[in-house]
Amino acid sequence: MAENGHENGHGHGDNAEYYSLKAEAIQALLIEKGVCTLDDILTMADRIDSRSPEDGAKVLAHAWVDPEYKQRLLADAESALLELGYDLPETAPKLTVLENTDDVHNMAVCTLCSCYPRAILGRPPAWYKGLAYRSKVVVDPRGVLQEFGTELDAAVQVRVIDSSADFRYLILPKRPAGTEGMSEEDLAKLITQESMIGVAQALSPDSVTAS
């Protein structure tokens, strides 16, 4: 199972083996001591698994087609999500939606840890939690955008949002040109995880019709 067969390796595989064992031990002790049950853990795991970028995309596509909904979403994201049946847990951090326009491009990061709108998008991608993104995006956002293949005109204001406290930020990407006749369902397919973090634009409509 371990991918490193090195005798004295100090690679990731060794750490994983050690910490997975530790996690298993902690879990077993918590159950033995009656702190929680296995069912508590499995239920929570399922709950976490149940959220994914598709949920965020559905909400944002709805905002694209319904301008009044968009205003409500930007003003009070949690109430607007509830309208679509997404009841965020009370313990979840507050959520704010920031809109990307012709003039302003927002992109989100957490330089201190890995804050992310998990309550609606699920777990963050690995690169979002990595040191390279966290270090670079605040000082060179346009360089980072280029790494994601995103070119922005110098006239567009780039606004980095470092989510350092009690709010999580979801980016509403710009609706691409040529999508006027598309259904909400097809529009949602244009809204990628990267575009909801703000490192990319929404996909162009050709990418969906082609598939």
Partner 1 sequence: MPKVHDRGGWPNEDPIDHSEHEMEEWERLVDALNGVLGEKGLKNTDQLRRAIESLDLKTYESLAYYEKWTAAMEILLVEQGVMTTAEIDAKMAALKEGQA
Partner 2 sequence: MAKYQRGDRVRIRVGVPPTHFRTPEYVQGKRGRVETLCGVFPNPESLAYGGDGLPAQPLYTIEFSQTELWANYKGPTTDTLLIDIYEHWLENI
Interface with partner 1 (CB under 8 A): 12, 15-16, 19-30, 33, 35-36, 40-42, 44-45, 47-49, 91, 109, 111-114, 123, 125-127, 129-136, 138-139, 144, 147-148, 162
Q: How far is the CB of 33 from partner 1 (least distance, A)?
A: 7
Annotated catalytic, 114? yes
Q: DSSP readout, 76-132?
A: -HHHHHHHTT----TTSPEEEEEE--SSEEEEEE-SSS----HHHH-SPPHHHHSHH
Among residues 74, 138, 203, 208, the one that binds partner 2 under rule CB under 8 A: 138
CA 202 to chain centre: 14
Among residues 30, 74, 111, 147, the one that binds partner 2 under rule CB under 8 A: 111
Interaction of residue 150 with partner 2, rule CB under 8 A: no
Among residues 53, 117, 122, 141, the one that binds partner 2 under rule CB under 8 A: 141
Q: Which amino acid is at 134?
A: R
Interaction of residue 117 with partner 2, rule CB under 8 A: no
* Residue 207 binding: pick among partner 1, partner 2, none (C-beta 5-8 Å cut-off by kind): none
* Residue 161 binding: pick among partner 1, partner 2, none (C-beta 5-8 Å cut-off by kind): partner 2
Cα-flanking dihedrals φ and ψ of residue 72, to 5°?
Answer: -65, -40
Interaction of residue 112 with partner 2, rule CB under 8 A: yes
Annotated catalytic, 36? no
Distance CA 135, CA 181 (A): 41
Interaction of residue 140 with partner 2, rule CB under 8 A: yes
Interaction of residue 72 with partner 2, rule CB under 8 A: no
Distance CA 48, CA 57 (A): 17
Distance CA 58, CA 54 (A): 6
* Given the residues 79, 113, 164, 183, the one annotated as active site: 113
Annotated catalytic, 113? yes
Distance CA 126, CA 104 (A): 26
Q: Considering only residues 79 through 108, tell me which ones interact with partner 2, judged by CB under 8 A.
A: 94
Catalogue the active-site residues: 110, 113-115
Contact residues for partner 2, defined by CB under 8 A: 94, 111-112, 138-143, 154-155, 157-167
